[in-house]
Amino acid sequence: MFKYYNANPLKNKVFDCTTRAISLAENTSWDYTYNKLSNLAREQGQMMDSVEFIEDYLDRRYPRQCHYSKTIEEFVDEHPHGVYLCTMTGHITCVIDGCIYDTFNCGDRIMRCAWKVE
């Protein structure tokens, strides 16, 4: 299942999937999450939307599962309960209790990894 979700405070459709997904999964505001990720990335000399930064951030907080041959939709069908942050090439999305929350339906994309947010 897919549900449209845009936490951007100005409802802009911009490349903010990292902030959107993490803020939803961690139950924090878009502004708070943006500031937190921006500050951490600056401290590390990284961009807050780089794969290395995002994966390092998630690995420090949550257990990782990799599923390089599944689509997001297949993962959702197999994990109907819980909160997950799922990465794919060039994107990250939040899955909550079997529903993809995003600005578009990325269910047909091949995923990289998922982190179970606890």
pLDDT in tens, 26-67: 999 999 999 999 999 999 999 998 999 999 999 999 999 998
Give the pLDDT band of residue 14 (cuts 50, 70, 90).
confident
Separation of alpha carbons 102 and 4, rounded Å: 5
Q: Based on the structure, what is the number of domains in the chain? A: 1
Tokens 């690995």 belong to 59
Domain of 61, in residue numbers: 2-7+15-117
On the question of pLDDT at 12 being above 90, the answer is no
- Residue 5 backbone phi and psi in degrees, to 5: -150, 125
Question: In 1-106, at which residue ranges do the beta strands (DSSP E only) sit?
Answer: 2-4, 64-66, 83-88, 91-96, 99-102
pLDDT in tens, 66-78: 988 899 999 999 9
* pTM to 2 decimal places: 0.93
